[in-house]
Structure 1
């Protein structure tokens, strides 16, 4: 009887590790940041024999996000007037999918005034906005900051308020090959 319990415990632990390994498949392959000054700032990233350019430009005192592929513009959108920007190229080791965490702040304190998950869809041959925090439930209220990041191989959208640390509403994302889109799991409010 004791032997059976030990075997069940070992099997349970093995399954838990397999589940964690499968769920943890994202890594940051490039991380670029800077300050938007003058006409703007541009970052380039290699992706599947192409070059993705992500630029933050200013025109008539408004900020724009411009994306290019191999020097050709493929996407443009007006964004908040962020001054400090960061782009992380994220790679899913399970599926080979690339995506980009685009974040920005109006001040140098690191506040989150912009946080998006975007990427190039090879099937549709178009740039996609995969995750915009305004489309997800935020039970912490309007003062919660939204951040998208990779931690321990997990791609996470978290809403948090510094004064309520360590609580955060979290969504964990995964690439779904069947729908050709990011799926997610709602983890609810978690303690850190």
Structure 2
């Protein structure tokens, strides 16, 4: 009986560590930021023998996000008129998947007015919007800021309100090879 308890304990610990290893596979491989001035700003990233460009351009007082591959535009979308932008290239060490956390703010205070997870889909040969916070449940109300970030290998979307700190609604993402898309786990409201 004692032997069985030890075996169950060891198996349980092994399963726990397998889950942690799988979930903790993201790292930031490049981090670029700047201020959108004049005609705009562009960042370039290396990804699997190609160059990915992400630009923030202004036309007729409107802000646009343009993504390109090897110098050719492959995606364009109107975005909030953010002035300060940051793009983090993230890499999944388990699957080799690259993605880009795109964030921006209207002011220099670091407020989150734009937060997206995007990337190039090798199978469809197209730029994809993988995570847009407006598509996820936010129980903290309209004043909650949405931020996408990597922490301890986890790719996280968190809604938070400064006055409610340290509470946050969190979603943790993983790359699902079978569906060729990001899956997620809803962690609910967590304390930090």
Q: Residue 96 of structure 1 aligns to a residue in which SS?
A: coil
Q: 1:82-122: CA deviations, max 9, x gaps?
A: 00000000111111111000000001110000000000011
Cα distance in 2 for partners of 1:14, 1:175 equals 22
Cα distance in 2 for partners of 1:44, 1:90 equals 14
Q: 1:114-135: CA deviations, max 9, x gaps?
A: 0000000111111000100000
Q: Residue 18 of structure 1 aligns to a residue in which SS?
A: helix
Cα distance in 2 for partners of 1:123, 1:153 equals 25
Cα distance in 1 for partners of 2:2, 2:109 equals 57
How much has 1:2 moved relative to structure 2? 5.0
Q: Residue 107 of structure 1 aligns to a residue in which SS?
A: coil
How much has 1:3 moved relative to structure 2? 5.3
How much has 1:11 moved relative to structure 2? 3.3
Q: Residue 3 of structure 2 aligns to a residue in which SS?
A: helix
Matched, 1:91 2:83: no
> Structure 1 residues 1-10 or 90-99, which shifts more?
1-10
Query: Any stretches of 5+ residues in structure 2 without a counterpart?
Result: none
> Structure 1 residues 117-126 or 8-17, which shifts more?
8-17
With the length of structure 2 as denominator, give the TM-score of the two structures: 0.96
Cα distance in 2 for partners of 1:74, 1:93 equals 26
Query: Any stretches of 5+ residues in structure 1 without a counterpart?
Result: none
Q: 1:121-169: CA deviations, max 9, x gaps?
A: 1111110001000000100000000000011111110000011011111
Cα distance in 1 for partners of 2:127, 2:190 equals 32
Cα distance in 2 for partners of 1:93, 1:109 equals 32
How much has 1:7 moved relative to structure 2? 4.3
Cα distance in 2 for partners of 1:100, 1:90 equals 6
Structure 1 segments (4+ residues) deviating >2 Å: 1-15
How much has 1:185 moved relative to structure 2? 0.8
Q: 1:17-57: CA deviations, max 9, x gaps?
A: 12101111111110000111111110000001000000001
- What number of residue pairs does the alignment pair up? 192
RMSD: 1.2
Please name the residue that 1:18 is paired with: 18
